[in-house]
Chains A and B, each alone.
Chain A
Amino acid sequence: MMEHVNFLISILPELWKGLLVSLELSAGALLLGLIIGLPVSLARTYGKGIIKAIAVAYIELIRGTPMVVQLVIIYFGLPDIGIVLDRIPAAIIALGINSSAYQAEYFRGAILSIDSGQMMAAEAIGMSKRQAVLNIILPQALRLVLPPWSNELVYMIKYTSVAFLIAVPELMARGKMIISWTFKPLEVLFWVGVIYVIVLSLVAKIVDTIEAKISIPGFQMSRESF
């Protein structure tokens, strides 16, 4: 028993450093995903012609391909045309682009779920379409999008583990490193798993608290699918 505890204590600092990198990647990717995803969803929802077509193609292509493929295209592929990225920026960009397509669809779903009467009423008091989207539609959509968005947060923290494939020293990669020194794969993986479970439970708790804080009567905030 003591032996296992000592082992855990010996690997914990390394895993902690890995966790911090994982969280850094997640935060960067989510933010990038939001910055790209929101305009893309508006382009798909309200855009016309070529703008809409580009947004649709972007979303479908990203969602139709594995994240690993996107990652290797950006990290191993782009140098072929002279774009060389460091590991961490490459991982954040790949994860962020991936997330943007999903976030765009969450936003679109939320926007479409808002009753058309809201737009009509906004126009009836003289708002321009832009004002109506900004002041009436988006504030409601952003609240509705929170549950799927927090799922995306959880997914993202898990999926940062693919960054290990381009040797970003995140949690998974540090685990693999420790395995290669200690030759205790199952024990190390067990603790890596435990850390993921704890962190994701904490994140889910925090998100729940935030949702409860900003909830408004009349907006259902159910997180479960269905």
Chain B
Amino acid sequence: MGINEHTWKVISAIPYLLKGVGMTLKITFLALIFGAFFGLLLALARVYGGSISRRFAIVYSRIIRSLPLLVILFMLYYLASEILDLSPFLAVVLALAVHTSAYQSEIFRGSIQSISKGQMEAALALGMSKFQCVLYIILPQALRRALPYWSNEAAIVLKDSALAYVLGIAELMRRGEYVVARSSQSALLTYLIIGIIYFILTSVLTRSLLYAEKKLRIPC
């Protein structure tokens, strides 16, 4: 089977599609960073916080994890356009960050709680403050333990970022839609190519986080 006109159109659009990768990665990266920050705070509130902050963290995590990302996305989008003056780009980043922060808070909480009580006691016995214990003793161990779960979550955020296209942001998926709209009988090939690009991105992401995991591993 030779390359027909439709196929050729899609193939020549690949460079155009690839330009969307930058946007996809930017959204993913920002959402992950914000999500990790919120998530860690929530986890600390949950484990070490007083009753109010603990309850807040629990309720936040429960509710956010029950909401589909699309609902959060549209809520922030309308909030952004109606009340706050945010760009769709920021709305997307925030929505992904809010969504992932709830999952990340569970990951961090689990890893913090998995560190044995003796670690804290030993650090307190040395005269460290509780804050110091958490910062120097608990978190360095807990974050290492969280890393495998965290890289899983990172891949999820990368894949979820595809939903940003509904707000018209010119990332990978949106550019695919343009290509499909412009020439007939190009949907299958275009979306398959997009699938492959995502597959490569998630593979590279998880591989590099696995590498980081190995580098940071402590003998046990």
Query: A201 near B: Cβ within 8 Å?
Result: yes
Measured in the bound complex, the distance between the Cα atoms of B190 and A162 in whole Å is: 19
- Given the interface pairs A66-B159, A70-B195, the reply to whether A162 lies near B70 with Cβ below 8 Å is yes
Give chain B nearest CB distance to A151 CB in angstroms.
10
A contact face: mostly helix, strand, loop, or mixed: helix
How far is B91's CA from A38's CA once the two chains are assembled, in angstroms? 39
Q: Give 1 or 0 for each of A211-226: 1 = CB within 8 Å of chain B CB.
A: 0000000000000111
Residue of B at shortest CB range from A198? Answer: B66
Does A68 count as interface, using CB distance less than 8 angstroms?
yes
Pick the contact of B202: A64, A77, A224 (CB < 8 A).
A64
B165-202: which have CB < 8 Å to A?
165-166, 173, 176, 180, 185-192, 194-195, 198-199, 202
User: Number of residues in B with C-beta < 8 Å to the partner?
Assistant: 46
The yes or no answer to B15 lying at the interface (CB within 8 A) is: no
Given contacts A66-B163, A224-B110, list 13 more A-B pairs with CB under 8 A.
A64-B155, A68-B163, A68-B173, A69-B162, A69-B198, A72-B191, A80-B187, A80-B188, A154-B66, A189-B75, A197-B66, A201-B62, A226-B111
Closest 10 CB pairs of A and B: A77-B188, A226-B110, A161-B68, A66-B162, A80-B188, A66-B159, A185-B78, A64-B199, A76-B187, A200-B66
Q: Which residues of A contact B (CB under 8 A)?
A: 61, 63-70, 72-73, 76-81, 154, 158-159, 161-162, 164-165, 172, 175-176, 185-186, 189-190, 192-193, 196-197, 200-201, 224-226
